[in-house]
Structure formats: structure tokens, C-alpha cells
Amino acid sequence: MDRITLTGVTAVGYHGVFDFERREGQPFVVDAVLYLDFTEAAQSDDVRDTAHYGEVAQRITDWITAEPLNLIEALAVRIADSLLAEFSLHAVDITVHKPQAPIEVPFGDVAVTVHRERVPAAHALSGTTA
């Protein structure tokens, strides 16, 4: 499977379980790996036949700056699900970094990663999974 890797999409969000996180905000950094087939895009050489990574980056930023969530796990799942719904992807890996998380010991980064795959239409209708 072919991949587009987009790293370091950064925006200020207001996610977290503490009041001060929701009040003051902090940077969130998202990495995305988009799994798709490049065959059609390679033949046409047309951006409409692939996942436009500029549009993907904008959607990620929209989610970072959207209504606050308690958990970065919830943010990662929402980003992954929305990208699968909007773009012709087979699967996506989303990593959300919270480099200024309120942790009381020295640390370099905290991140969560989710992997989501498109459910084939036949499986979605029958309620089964692959």
C-alpha cells in the first residue's frame, strides 16, 4: 500500500482534563500516515486523484482548534475517522503529541497513536468486521 506521511501539523488547542488547559490552551502536534493507492494519481498526474495533503493538514488543524476534548485519545480518533470519511483512504495512522502536557516530572513528549481502516461496504452492511 502506498503512503503519504504528513508530520508536525501544529496548532493551539484547548484539550485536557484540567481547567487551566481549557482556559490557556497549548500546542498540539499531529502526524498522519495516509494509506492509499497511487496508481490513478500516477497515471493522471492530477491532485484530485490522491489525498491532497494541504487539505488534510487543514482538516487536522480544524480538529485541533475545535471544541475542547478531555483526552488526546478522543482527538486522535476523531481526526482519523473524519479523514477516512472525507478522503479516499484505505487506512490512516494518526499520532497526537501533547508536548506541554501537565506532567510533573521531566519528559520529552507524550503521544497517542490510532490506526483506523476503511470498512468495506459489504462488511458495513452486514455488521461484520474484517
Q: What does CATH list as the number for 2-126?
A: 3.30.1130.10
3-state secondary structure (DSSP) of residue 54:
helix
What is the reported pLDDT for 51?
97
Domain locations along the chain: 2-126
Task: Kindly tell me if the per-residue pLDDT of 130 is higher than 90.
Answer: no
The answer to whether 98 is a known catalytic residue is yes
Entry pTM: 0.90
pLDDT bin (cut points 50, 70, 90) of residue 125 is low
What backbone phi and psi angles, to 5 degrees, belong to 114? -125, 150
Task: Kindly tell me if the per-residue pLDDT of 98 is higher than 60.
Answer: yes
Best CA proximity match to 91, nearest among 120, 62, 64, 112? 120
Digit-coded pLDDT (tens) for 1-24: 999 999 999 999 999 999 999 999
Distances (CA, A) of 126 to 37, 69, 88, 121: 26, 32, 22, 9
Among candidate residues 30, 72, 92, 98, the one labeled active-site is 98
